[in-house]
């Protein structure tokens, strides 16, 4: 008869070496925590245009001046609610005079330093990039003071609404 050798021994499972995995985690976790700071979003608070604040029991309602930027496909008009249009800026070759609008808003802010709100009134076909560009323009202005760039607040409370229909010339 042939002898069959049967090995009987301790059959213990092999030991797992997780040192390499732990080294990877020690490096990966701080890296992910550091890069997570760079993925944040800026949120602007927008409001609806203010409703008429005239009360029926007042004899002579005191009108407050409000400023508007009427953004159309071919132009941007800066106006106030009491006097009407102040200045119109045409869009030529898809370029807008942002510096001119900003300079006009700075002059308005100098006359009305306590005024914080402005309304952006848009036509339906206005591009989203133009809206964002105008929001940035009306919120802040960068000026040079003593050789240092300083950001100053213009009209931080922005309301968005629909533009009134364009006025056509009558014959």
pLDDT of 26: 93
pTM metric for this prediction: 0.60
DSSP H helices, the chain, are 19-35, 98-111, 128-139
Domains delineated in the chain: 65-162 (3.30.420)
Task: Tell me how far apart the alpha carbons of residues 119 and 160 are, in angstroms, rounded to a whole number.
Answer: 6
Report pLDDT digits (tens) over 117-147. 888 888 888 888 888 888 888 888 888 888 8
**pLDDT confidence tier of residue 28, bands split at 50, 70 and 90:** very high
Task: Tell me how far apart the alpha carbons of residues 22 and 27 are, in angstroms, rounded to a whole number.
Answer: 9
Instruction: Give the pLDDT mean for 93-122.
Output: 86
**Contact by Cβ (8 Å): 66, 50:** yes
The residues pairing with 87 across neighbouring beta strands, listed in sequence order, are 78
**pLDDT confidence tier of residue 40, bands split at 50, 70 and 90:** low
pLDDT of 162: 85
**Contact by Cβ (8 Å): 150, 62:** no
**pLDDT confidence tier of residue 67, bands split at 50, 70 and 90:** confident
């Amino acid at each position: 008869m042939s002898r069959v050798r049967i090995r009987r021994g301790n059959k213990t499972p092999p030991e797992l070496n997780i040192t390499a995995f732990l080294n990877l985690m020690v490096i990966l976790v701080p890296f992910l925590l550091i890069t997570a700071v760079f993925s944040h979003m800026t949120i602007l608070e927008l409001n609806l245009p203010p409703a008429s604040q005239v009360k029926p029991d007042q004899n002579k309602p005191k009108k407050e001046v409000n400023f508007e930027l009427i953004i159309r496909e071919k132009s941007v008009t800066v106006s106030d609610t009491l006097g009407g249009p102040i200045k119109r800026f045409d869009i030529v070759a898809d370029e807008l005079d942002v510096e001119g609008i900003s300079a006009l808003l700075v002059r308005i802010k100098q006359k009305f330093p306590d005024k914080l709100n402005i309304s952006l009134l848009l036509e339906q076909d206005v591009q989203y990039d133009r809206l964002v560009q105008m929001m940035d323009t009306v919120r802040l202005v960068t000026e040079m003071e003593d050789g240092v760039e300083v950001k100053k607040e213009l009209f931080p409370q922005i309301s968005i609404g629909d533009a009134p229909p364009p006025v056509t010339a009558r014959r």
